Structure 1
Amino acid sequence: MKDHHLKAWLRLVETGSIRAAARSLHLSQAAITKAVKELEEDLDAPLVVRSSRGVTLTECGHQLTSRARMAQAQLALARQDIRELQGGNSARVAVAVTPMAFLSVLPEVMRSFRLSMPLADVTIDEGLMPMVLPALREGAVDFAVAAPVRESIGSDFSFEPLLDLDTMLACRRGHPLENATQWSELLECEWLMYLSPGSQHTHFLENIREAGLARPRRIIKVNTFGVGWNLLTRSDALLTCPAGMLKTAPYGDQVSRIPLAMSLPPITLGILTLRDNPLSLAATRFAELFRRAIRSDARLA
């Protein structure tokens, strides 16, 4: 299996047909067909089903696609590292950052990173769990500053814990249940939750079930911080989140902590990576800056 095989395969997947893949790579259709056939022979497995409408991936084809993208991403990192060592300015880094981190330490981390790598190409995505795991698997981000439930993320990921965070049940200022203390008082409220495998809200619901408590009856599933926070502050919906939000301007002025007579499980903030996938030099520097900032920021204590 060679690099040109993987490039031809990934372009076939992206375009959906041999003709389009060939045109995109400025190759003949015969060359793309040969590359796919050689891959199938090398792997001893069918990768596509051909029809008049194009090609459809088999289960083996989907698996190859995932691994091929990772392999190409790692080769790109190797080229980038070598150019950087040779004095080039083509460093790239992509990171997903959970809201509590991007609202607190991200500006400081970004300033420090720019001092050492002023010309690096930086991409920052929102680091909520519904998006983080697929992005890491596909190589779209190098690492994530996130708060997953470690038991739920799978053996293909590696998590480095940095700091435990206290959590709270938040509501808007002036909410009619702002001073509620009993779980039963809150069951009829709307609850905002980021639900996906490995997310803290999924774990929260599991804890509620194990404690023998009734599950909230109305849940709005959200996938971005902006949507969740907007609904929290402009409606009567509730949200569990890090208590450090109360120390983070201007967000702390918009919400109250409901004084529940029960404890909420803390969350652990850390660095999440795809196991056995080494970071580029640029990503390694970026991750180290996050480590230092998270461990020293009073808003996260």
Structure 2
Amino acid sequence: MKDHHLKAWLSLVETGSIRGAARSLHLSQAAITKAIRELEQDLDAPLIVRSSRGVTLTECGHQLTMRVRLAQAQFELARQDIRQLQGGKEAHVSVAVTPTIYVSLLPDVIDAFRKRMPLAELNLEEGMMPLVLPALRDGSIDFAVAAPVHQALAPEFSFEPLQTLEMIVGCRPGHPLAKATEWEQLLDCEWLMHLAPGSHHTDMVGQLQRAGIPVPQRIITTNSFGVTWNLMTRSDALLSCPAAWLSVQPYAQQVTRVPLRMPLPSITLGILSLRDTPLSLAAETMAELFRREIAAHGKKLATGG
């Protein structure tokens, strides 16, 4: 497998046809066809299905595409590292962060990062697990500061636990059940949950069911912090969230902790990355700053105190 094979393959994927790939790379269609055929022979697997409408990737073709794009991303990271070692100023970091981080520590981390790498290009994503895992696979993000259900993570991912977070039930100030102490009192309420596979709420519901504890039936499924927070603070909907949010302004003024006697399953905050895939110098610098800030604010993050 050589460089010209991979360039032909990615061009074919992006353009959707032999003709389009040839035009993009300024080569003949015969050259592209030969490169793809040699790739298939090298891998001993069919990669495309040809038709009058172009080409369609096989399952093997989709897998190759994911890995080739990741390899390209790693080559680009190597270029960035070398330029930095030679005194260059080019660097790019893409990170996904869970709401617990971006409502609390993120500004301090960015400030410290800018003092070290003021000209680096920085991209931040919301750390919802269904989006984080594919982004790690294809190299579009370097790492995530998140709280996955790490016992269920695929072997291709590496998780570095940094802090265990207490979870609470939150409601708006003045909620009719703001002083409830029993779980059963909350079952008839509307709840806000992110129920995608691997999310904390999905894991919490599963743990309650396995313990024989009834779960709420009136659930509004949400997939962003903004929507969830707006509904919780402006309606009687309840939310399971980290206690850490009670220590961050202005959020602390917008939520009240329901004093349940029953503890909720905790979550573990840490750094999630693709196993055996080294970070660039810039990304490792950012990761280390997250480690430092999380360690410095461990108690406040853990309990909100």
Tell me the TM-score normalized by structure 1: 0.95
| Alpha-carbon displacement from aligned partner over 1:137-165 (angstroms, at most 9, x marks no partner) | 11110000011111111111101111111
Alignment of 1:43-122 (within 5 A): 43-122=43-122
Q: Give, as a single letter, the amino acid of the residue that structure 2 aligns with 1:73.
A: A
| Alpha-carbon displacement from aligned partner over 1:115-146 (angstroms, at most 9, x marks no partner) | 11111111111112121111111111000001
Aligned counterparts of 2:182 and 2:127: Cα–Cα separation in 1: 31
Q: Give, as a single letter, the amino acid of the residue that structure 2 aligns with 1:32.
A: I
Match of 1:278 in 2: 278
Alignment of 1:1-301 (within 5 A): 1-297=1-297, 299-301=300-302
Equivalent residues of 1:181, 1:261 under 8 A apart: yes
Aligned counterparts of 2:2 and 2:267: Cα–Cα separation in 1: 43
Count of aligned pairs: 301
Structure 1 segments unaligned to the other structure (5+ residues): none
Distance 1:8 1:254, change over 3 A: same
How much does 1:4 deviate? 2.6
Aligned counterparts of 1:9 and 1:220: Cα–Cα separation in 2: 43
Equivalent residues of 1:165, 1:242 under 8 A apart: yes
How much does 1:188 deviate? 2.5
Equivalent residues of 1:130, 1:194 under 8 A apart: no
Aligned counterparts of 1:20 and 1:233: Cα–Cα separation in 2: 52
Question: Comparing 3-12 with 94-103, which one deviates more in the overlay?
Answer: 3-12
Equivalent residues of 1:178, 1:256 under 8 A apart: yes
The secondary structure found in structure 1 opposite 2:130 is: helix
| Alpha-carbon displacement from aligned partner over 1:210-257 (angstroms, at most 9, x marks no partner) | 110222212222221111111111222221111010111001111111
How much does 1:200 deviate? 1.2
The secondary structure found in structure 2 opposite 1:122 is: strand
The secondary structure found in structure 1 opposite 2:260 is: coil
How much does 1:3 deviate? 2.4
Q: Kindly, what percent of the aligned residue pairs are identical?
A: 66
Tell me the TM-score normalized by structure 2: 0.94
Question: Comparing 83-92 with 195-204, which one deviates more in the overlay?
Answer: 195-204
Aligned counterparts of 1:236 and 1:14: Cα–Cα separation in 2: 48
The secondary structure found in structure 2 opposite 1:158 is: strand
Q: Give, as a single letter, the amino acid of the residue that structure 2 aligns with 1:300.
A: L
Q: Give, as a single letter, the amino acid of the residue that structure 1 aligns with 2:171.
A: C
| Alpha-carbon displacement from aligned partner over 1:19-41 (angstroms, at most 9, x marks no partner) | 22333333333332222111111
How much does 1:111 deviate? 0.9
Aligned counterparts of 2:163 and 2:258: Cα–Cα separation in 1: 23
Equivalent residues of 1:130, 1:223 under 8 A apart: no
Question: Comparing 156-165 with 222-231, which one deviates more in the overlay?
Answer: 222-231
Aligned counterparts of 1:48 and 1:215: Cα–Cα separation in 2: 47
How much does 1:18 deviate? 2.2
Structure 2 segments unaligned to the other structure (5+ residues): none
The secondary structure found in structure 2 opposite 1:169 is: strand
Aligned counterparts of 2:17 and 2:219: Cα–Cα separation in 1: 42
How much is the aligned-residue C-alpha RMSD, in angstroms?
A: 1.4
